[in-house]
Chains A and B, each alone.
Chain A
């Protein structure tokens, strides 16, 4: 399939990769590291929020309310206090995030139908605060609904106005496990970061060492040089994809519901974009440090605008518009849909087309620039 010029470059590139422990470590270890970091630490699920309770009522009714909070699984009733000073100290020291105050007349007011409890939240960590707030409201609502029903039953009446109950169904990821969301994202991030950095530096290194000049005076054509230099990184990109998928699947339990062929093809399309970015960055740089910086210049905004960390829908209109030019945005949609939803090509065809367009444009532009530099 390839002539001896291309195979020589490919073989040489692999020898160099396997001889350099740093590159090898970067290829094999960084994906695993990021996978575990994002699989565990970067979880956005807020559970086990510590809670202090000042139960001034100490009745069966107040204990029933506390049980409802316990059952919600979001709160751990760590502290039982007996003054406002106590829970204030606990919140200030960060030992607890939430305090629940049940008034002494809770049981009596419950019978009157206007029972109130006080909930104090530490809002300094917004994500914990908002989760605690919404959960507390839910618990309160569910509990009061239950009580209204019970009271109606006790008084022998059918509840005149049965409160509306919202039943929710979460599809694909019923436990809302953030690993499901993050790990496909890691594939996109690794493919765009590592491959673009490696390609940019491997080409710039030839320029730094002066070997590029020697290569140019050989009969090799620039497209052969580009293919020979990039193909090893395409192969490595696929190996990394498989590595992340397998660990994600076996360790974090992320499902692989879509077709394997589609996963491979779309990974290849996305690789074309990131290799193109690497190649482009290499034409702008004369040293490996410069190449690193150039790649970062492309990649950092890409990561933030791709919807990996922050949902695109929540961005200002202008940034949403910018994100349309970011291949990672499309790939994240594709890989999440393929793994978690198990969709077919029809559901992701627009994103696939976007990837193809971006890949062809960046690769074409980079190749043209590369050719110029040879002259």
Chain B
């Protein structure tokens, strides 16, 4: 990694007694797509707001594109794009009016650039639609267009897909990949586990602490050292109770029509026997793959 695009050291933000972000450290390299995973209130948005100079850090230090976020926020803002979870769109303006407005605020008055952005986010042909009448998926694209209109080299996306349907989400991620290929660095927060899988690296955030940051594969390998068993048995609820009580079992979770059991040393036969003794019908027990959700839950304990 050459000069990092984002570099964060011991970054901390307190609101009174509450520590929203607690001494976090990480770096992001050029062209990376880094996910920031965590539940609501875990400090993801606060981190991004500090990196944009919207909030002052209580402690620690961060640079974005080489600029100190506390002292040179104007320099940072000129060069980065930001898409907030609220989709900062004027409902009473049309698509084109919204883009032209934000373009003007960034000093982009070239009509061709505006048109280019419109095409990039796939809103060509919807220039004159009032954004208040558009679906969430389209509003999301426009919101991304607004963040991109000045062609930034770094994009902060704060929960960009909340409330958007799966098809639109997939299309949105295709666009993100396209941008990253063009050299844009992307920091994206999410609370969707499946979405975090799309990222090159994922940071797991909980209660203001950055618990881990690595590629999804490495996270699964290093955090989930035990086996994952998928247990198909009936009734499931009773199964959860029995297996949770079993010594050596780290976690039992319901996953639709089966149970996920994570354990270092308990073997398939031990699980099966424990259930049979209690008269539970065991259909099958298979080895499963760890997911980011397993990682998250393991880290969150």
- Give the interface of A toward B (CB within 8 A): 3-5, 7-9, 11-12, 15-16, 19-20, 209-211, 213-220, 375
Does B26 lie at the interface of the complex (its beta carbon under 8 Å from any beta carbon of A)? no
A375 to B82, alpha carbons, bound, how many Å? Answer: 16
Please name all residues of chain A whose beta carbon is closer than 8 Å to the beta carbon of B90 when the two chains form the complex. Answer: 12, 16, 209, 211
The 4 closest A-B pairs by CB, nearest first: A8-B104, A214-B88, A210-B86, A211-B88
Please name all residues of chain A whose beta carbon is closer than 8 Å to the beta carbon of B52 when the two chains form the complex. Answer: 217
Neighbour of B97 across the interface among A5, A12, A214, A375, CB < 8 A: A12
Please name all residues of chain A whose beta carbon is closer than 8 Å to the beta carbon of B77 when the two chains form the complex. Answer: 217-219
Contact with A along B39-64 (1 / 0, CB 8 A): 00000000000001111100000000
User: Is B107 touching A219 in the complex (CB atoms < 8 A)?
Assistant: yes
- Please give me the residue from chain A that is nearest to B80 by CB atom: A217
Please name all residues of chain B whose beta carbon is closer than 8 Å to the beta carbon of A8 when the two chains form the complex. Answer: 100-101, 103-105
Nearest Cβ distance between residue A286 and chain B, in whole angstroms? 14
- B76-123 contacts to A, CB under 8 A, are 77-78, 80, 82, 84, 86-93, 97, 100-107, 109
Does B146 lie at the interface of the complex (its beta carbon under 8 Å from any beta carbon of A)? yes
Known: A209-B88, A216-B54. A9 touches B93 (CB 8 A): no
Does B289 lie at the interface of the complex (its beta carbon under 8 Å from any beta carbon of A)? no
- Please give me the residue from chain A that is nearest to B107 by CB atom: A4
A-B contact pairs, 18 of them (CB 8 A): A4-B105, A5-B107, A16-B92, A19-B92, A209-B86, A209-B88, A210-B88, A211-B88, A214-B84, A215-B88, A215-B105, A217-B53, A217-B54, A217-B77, A217-B82, A219-B74, A219-B78, A375-B56
Neighbour of B104 across the interface among A5, A210, A211, CB < 8 A: A5
A375 to B52, alpha carbons, bound, how many Å? Answer: 11
User: Is A218 touching B54 in the complex (CB atoms < 8 A)?
Assistant: no
Q: Give the interface size class of chain B.
A: 20 to 34
A9 to B80, alpha carbons, bound, how many Å? Answer: 20
A5 to B107, alpha carbons, bound, how many Å? Answer: 6
Please name all residues of chain B whose beta carbon is closer than 8 Å to the beta carbon of A12 when the two chains form the complex. Answer: 90, 93, 97, 101
User: Is B102 touching A218 in the complex (CB atoms < 8 A)?
Assistant: yes
A214 to B91, alpha carbons, bound, how many Å? Answer: 14
Known: A211-B88, A217-B54, A217-B77. A4 touches B104 (CB 8 A): yes
User: Is A214 touching B93 in the complex (CB atoms < 8 A)?
Assistant: no
Please name all residues of chain B whose beta carbon is closer than 8 Å to the beta carbon of A209 when the two chains form the complex. Answer: 86, 88, 90-91
Please name all residues of chain B whose beta carbon is closer than 8 Å to the beta carbon of A219 when the two chains form the complex. Answer: 74, 77-78, 105-107
A9 to B101, alpha carbons, bound, how many Å? Answer: 7
Please name all residues of chain A whose beta carbon is closer than 8 Å to the beta carbon of B54 when the two chains form the complex. Answer: 213, 216-217, 375
Nearest Cβ distance between residue B72 and chain A, in whole angstroms? 12
User: Is B78 touching A16 in the complex (CB atoms < 8 A)?
Assistant: no
A213 to B105, alpha carbons, bound, how many Å? Answer: 13
A223 to B77, alpha carbons, bound, how many Å? Answer: 17
User: Is B105 touching A5 in the complex (CB atoms < 8 A)?
Assistant: yes
Please name all residues of chain A whose beta carbon is closer than 8 Å to the beta carbon of B80 when the two chains form the complex. Answer: 217
A5 to B53, alpha carbons, bound, how many Å? Answer: 20
User: Is A9 touching B92 in the complex (CB atoms < 8 A)?
Assistant: no
Known: A217-B52, A218-B106. A11 touches B101 (CB 8 A): yes
Please name all residues of chain B whose beta carbon is closer than 8 Å to the beta carbon of A7 when the two chains form the complex. Answer: 104
Known: A15-B97, A217-B54, A219-B77. A211 touches B105 (CB 8 A): no
Nearest Cβ distance between residue A131 and chain B, in whole angstroms? 52
Nearest Cβ distance between residue B156 and chain A, in whole angstroms? 8
Nearest Cβ distance between residue A13 and chain B, in whole angstroms? 10
Known: A4-B104, A218-B106. A16 touches B86 (CB 8 A): no
User: Is A213 touching B84 in the complex (CB atoms < 8 A)?
Assistant: yes
Known: A3-B107, A7-B104, A217-B77. 6 other contacts (CB 8 A): A9-B105, A16-B90, A19-B92, A209-B88, A217-B52, A217-B80
Please name all residues of chain B whose beta carbon is closer than 8 Å to the beta carbon of A5 when the two chains form the complex. Answer: 104-105, 107
Nearest Cβ distance between residue B103 and chain A, in whole angstroms? 8
Nearest Cβ distance between residue A374 and chain B, in whole angstroms? 8
- Please give me the residue from chain B that is nearest to A16 by CB atom: B92
Nearest Cβ distance between residue B48 and chain A, in whole angstroms? 10
A20 to B92, alpha carbons, bound, how many Å? Answer: 8
A334 to B55, alpha carbons, bound, how many Å? Answer: 45
A167 to B68, alpha carbons, bound, how many Å? Answer: 81
Please name all residues of chain B whose beta carbon is closer than 8 Å to the beta carbon of A9 when the two chains form the complex. Answer: 101, 105
Neighbour of A214 across the interface among B55, B102, B103, B104, CB < 8 A: B102
Please name all residues of chain B whose beta carbon is closer than 8 Å to the beta carbon of A215 when the two chains form the complex. Answer: 88, 105
Known: A217-B54, A218-B77, A218-B102. A15 touches B93 (CB 8 A): yes
Nearest Cβ distance between residue B16 and chain A, in whole angstroms? 17
Please name all residues of chain A whose beta carbon is closer than 8 Å to the beta carbon of B55 when the two chains form the complex. Answer: 375
User: Is B92 touching A214 in the complex (CB atoms < 8 A)?
Assistant: no
Nearest Cβ distance between residue B95 and chain A, in whole angstroms? 13
User: Is A218 touching B105 in the complex (CB atoms < 8 A)?
Assistant: yes
Nearest Cβ distance between residue A127 and chain B, in whole angstroms? 47
User: Is A4 touching B109 in the complex (CB atoms < 8 A)?
Assistant: yes
Please name all residues of chain A whose beta carbon is closer than 8 Å to the beta carbon of B89 when the two chains form the complex. Answer: 211
Please name all residues of chain B whose beta carbon is closer than 8 Å to the beta carbon of A15 when the two chains form the complex. Answer: 92-93, 97
- Please give me the residue from chain B that is nearest to A216 by CB atom: B54
- Please give me the residue from chain A that is nearest to B90 by CB atom: A211
Q: Which one of A213, A215, A218 has the greatest number of beta carbons of chain B within 10 Å?
A: A218
Nearest Cβ distance between residue B112 and chain A, in whole angstroms? 16
Q: Which one of A3, A9, A216 has the greatest number of beta carbons of chain B within 10 Å?
A: A216
A20 to B91, alpha carbons, bound, how many Å? Answer: 11
Contact with A along B226-240 (1 / 0, CB 8 A): 000000000000000
Please name all residues of chain A whose beta carbon is closer than 8 Å to the beta carbon of B92 when the two chains form the complex. Answer: 15-16, 19-20
Please name all residues of chain B whose beta carbon is closer than 8 Å to the beta carbon of A211 when the two chains form the complex. Answer: 88-90
Q: Which one of A3, A15, A20 has the greatest number of beta carbons of chain B within 10 Å?
A: A15
- Please give me the residue from chain A that is nearest to B49 by CB atom: A213
Please name all residues of chain B whose beta carbon is closer than 8 Å to the beta carbon of A220 when the two chains form the complex. Answer: 105
- Please give me the residue from chain A that is nearest to B56 by CB atom: A375
Please name all residues of chain B whose beta carbon is closer than 8 Å to the beta carbon of A19 when the two chains form the complex. Answer: 92-93
Please name all residues of chain A whose beta carbon is closer than 8 Å to the beta carbon of B56 when the two chains form the complex. Answer: 375
- Please give me the residue from chain A that is nearest to B81 by CB atom: A217
Q: Which one of A7, A8, A11, A214 has the greatest number of beta carbons of chain B within 10 Å?
A: A214
A16 to B104, alpha carbons, bound, how many Å? Answer: 16
